[in-house]
Amino acid sequence: MPSPGLPIDGVLGAMAREGGGDASGGSGCERRERNTTLKRLVVSWKGQAKMSHYEKRLEEDLRRIMATVKEVGSKVEAALEMSLRALLRRDRHLASATILGDLPINRQVRSCDKMCHVFVARHLPSAGHLRFVSSVLRLNVGLERLGDYAVTISREALQLEREVPPLVARDIELLSEQALQILGQALDSFYEKSPDLARGTKGLASHLQVTFDKVFQDLLEEGVRHEMPIKDLFALMGVLSRLNRVKAQAKNICEETIFTATGETKAPKVYRLLFLDETNECQSKMAELAARKAYPCSGKYASAGWSEVSAFSLGFVEFMNGVGIELGDEGPRRFEPDFRELSKLHVLVSFCGDVRPRLSKLPYELAVVEWDLEEVVKGLEGRERFAALYKEISYRVRELMETLRGEEAS
């Protein structure tokens, strides 16, 4: 086969020389065979030339998209650093510059989106290239939001009436350093297409919550001492919220890195639920067991009661055995309020009304649901009461899990 660099006009002559004469010589059969071979070679040569040009164009388009993502990512990191510096130093000029600087970032994000759409239309990508482009489109949404966080922090900096108290300033500085470090590592993992770096960074992001809780508590104590105007207190709470969202966006970037590099999608979330009543000898335990039976893959379930009881009633054990649930050696569990343990929960279901007065502190991200079943069992005793409770609790558990995980909850 002639090389791609061989002129097409020279192919016929080369074949004629190989055949020992003019291309028009020889028998009819020989001439037809040579002409057929010639056509195949020419088509192959043209195909190779086109494929080489196509691959070059594809790689160039990918390079331009990644270069734009890196540039936007760098500008967003700088904007966040500038906004926090403006806040802590009360630098109104820097704050204003950060606000205006978000406009070019937004335009560049839109330009990158357009490049991705053109890439899809031009190259009809599949597999790795398609994963990369779809991840960039989602990443652009996150980068634009991060730029918006910088704008919000800068606007709050302009509204402060006093300097940030020294203790709170140190806390914010520490939290911002950690958040920006995690964001930088997350972006590096995407640039380098490194799933290992992404997984490690996700782990770091999970530990940032401890710092956030400390800063939030210090800020509340400043407010309790009335050493800070209420307006400034709310402004700084807004800043903390945006820094916490930086951590969340960094984790999203890590997920996109893993998807781009390996094709692995984010695993469905497993929710942690606690069912709570007065004694844990019936309703809360029934809910825990019903959830475990119906949705073992969608959640981790526990139950407890405010008061200590030594054992379940015989009627309860017999009823649960009758519906196919063995309690074994399990007994009622007394609830021991612990803020760190509560912070690990996603949902707390209370069968005994409002739990807030009985807790010293309620975690910010914990959702509390109250289930009042008194009307369901009114006038019922014994097995009929257990059956009515089990039916209602099973229905409510299904509603809750499908809200959390969708219809695919299992």
Q: Give the list of residues 6+ apart from residue 54 with CB closer than 8 angstroms, or none.
A: none
Integer Cα distance of 66 and 311 in angstroms: 63
Q: What is the model's pLDDT at position 115?
A: 95
Exposure string over 45-72, b if 16+ CB within 10 A, otherwise e: beeeeeeeeeeeeeeebbeebbebbeeb
Domain edges within the chain:
52-262, 271-405
140 closest CA partner among 245, 57, 70, 78: 70
Length of the chain counted residue by residue:
410
Q: What is the model's pLDDT at position 38?
A: 60
Superfamily of domain 271-405: Response regulator (3.40.50.2300)
Integer Cα distance of 397 and 13 in angstroms: 81
Integer Cα distance of 241 and 237 in angstroms: 6
Q: What is the model's pLDDT at position 42?
A: 53
The count of C-alpha atoms lying within 13 angstroms of the C-alpha of 131, restricted to the half-sphere facing its C-beta, is 15
CATH topology identical between 52-262 and 271-405: no
Report the SS3 class of residue 311. Answer: coil
Q: What is the model's pLDDT at position 6?
A: 46
Structure tokens at 315: 């009627």
Strands (DSSP E) along 108-257, which ranges?
Answer: none
| Planar angle of CA 221, 177, 242, nearest 5 degrees | 60
| Planar angle of CA 352, 354, 360, nearest 5 degrees | 115
Q: What is the model's pLDDT at position 204?
A: 82
- Give me the residues of the chain with pLDDT under 70, please: 1-51, 226
Q: pLDDT tens, 96-111?
A: 999 999 999 999 999 9
Phi-psi region of 259 (alpha: psi -120 to 50; beta: other; left: phi over 0): alpha
Q: What is the model's pLDDT at position 212?
A: 77
Q: Taking the model in full, what pTM does it have?
A: 0.72
Q: What is the model's pLDDT at position 23?
A: 45
Own/partner contacts of 388-397, CB < 8 Å, gap of 24 or more, are 389/282, 389/283, 389/286, 390/286, 390/290, 390/319, 390/323, 393/283, 393/286, 393/287, 393/290, 394/290, 394/294, 396/287, 396/371, 397/287, 397/290, 397/291, 397/294, 397/295
Integer Cα distance of 323 and 290 in angstroms: 10
Structure tokens at 263: 């094709």
Q: pLDDT tens, 305-330?
A: 999 888 898 899 999 999 999 888 88
Structure tokens at 109: 């994000």
Class of domain 52-262: mainly alpha
Beta carbons of 385 and 404 less than 8 angstroms apart:
no
